[in-house]
Amino acid sequence: MHGILPLWKEAGMTSHDCVFKLRKILGTKKVGHTGTLDPAVEGVLPICVGNATRLAEYITDAGKVYEAVVSIGTATTTEDAEGEVVAQDHTHKVITREAIEQALHSLTGTIEQTPPMYSAVKVNGRKLYEYARAGQTVERPTRLVEIKELTLLEPQEVYEGEEVAFSIRIACGKGTYIRTLSVQIGEILGYPAHMKQLVRTMSGSYTQDECKTLGELQEMKEQGTVNEAIRPLETALTEYPQIAITDANRKEISNGQVLPVHPSLKESDKIVYVENNQAVAIYVVHPTKTGLMKPEKMFPKVN
């Protein structure tokens, strides 16, 4: 059993909980998730099974799409609805669509973010949430993240009230905190803010439509059809050039040898050598030997 299982993680469980339950459903220990979703968040969580666990880092680093509800008027310790209130603005607010869209536009592209104290980012070997739970604060590293698209999803021209909430769609690169993005939107609009709700609708190439819940997978197991939920591991590699193995290079690639660099590595940071539609090896430019490339991942042949 090798491949990617697009799981719909339901709210109320951790990503580790999902892996634990899936090991029982699938009858294998070789199961790994591709980046955590907070317990309160639901959404697409691709699960790597068997040989596909070698690809977990690629899916983790791939782009994501989220839909979030931003709440203007209240800030919390965790930057989401789970935390304690630390700031409130009770005034009646009138915020135009134009003002929101300008804020979203200013946060599109490469932006700086400082991870929230309640996050798994490590500082001096400890996770930030460990400092936060101990009542300690430490200097947090600011980093660059890529916001590819920010779209206001609702049609009204004016949003008003003591609390103003609106839905947005975010297409972003790895390491983006949507909680922090919600706070940044509030800062631009001039109010405290937090992320009220979050759903991940896409991770890498995997979408909500192709996901199964744990309950559905349990039913499929009882019917003997759970294998049908697992996608080929090659579906995690669609963004990279696929190069067919030839008689001339089959032995060298199968043995994981260093080879002259392939022209496709000028356009992409990885290439995938395939045979009979199965991935055999992923090659990257050699870090120290000019003009050569080396295997980054090798995959056993699966019949």
Q: Give the max Cα distance, the chain.
A: 73
- Among 38, 61, 80, 247, the active-site one is 38
Cα 25 to Cα 270: distance, rounded to the nearest angstrom: 33
Tokens representing 225 are: 């059809």
SS3 15: helix
Beta bridge partners of 272: 242, 282
Annotated catalytic residue 269: no
Whether the CB-CB separation of 176 and 115 falls below 8 Å is answered with: no
Say if strands 206-207 and 193-203 run parallel, antiparallel, or are unpaired: antiparallel
Give the rounded distance of the alpha carbon of 126 from its chain centre.
22
Beta bridge partners of 140: none
Tokens representing 166 are: 């609106």
Say if strands 271-275 and 242-244 run parallel, antiparallel, or are unpaired: parallel
Which residues are designated catalytic? 38
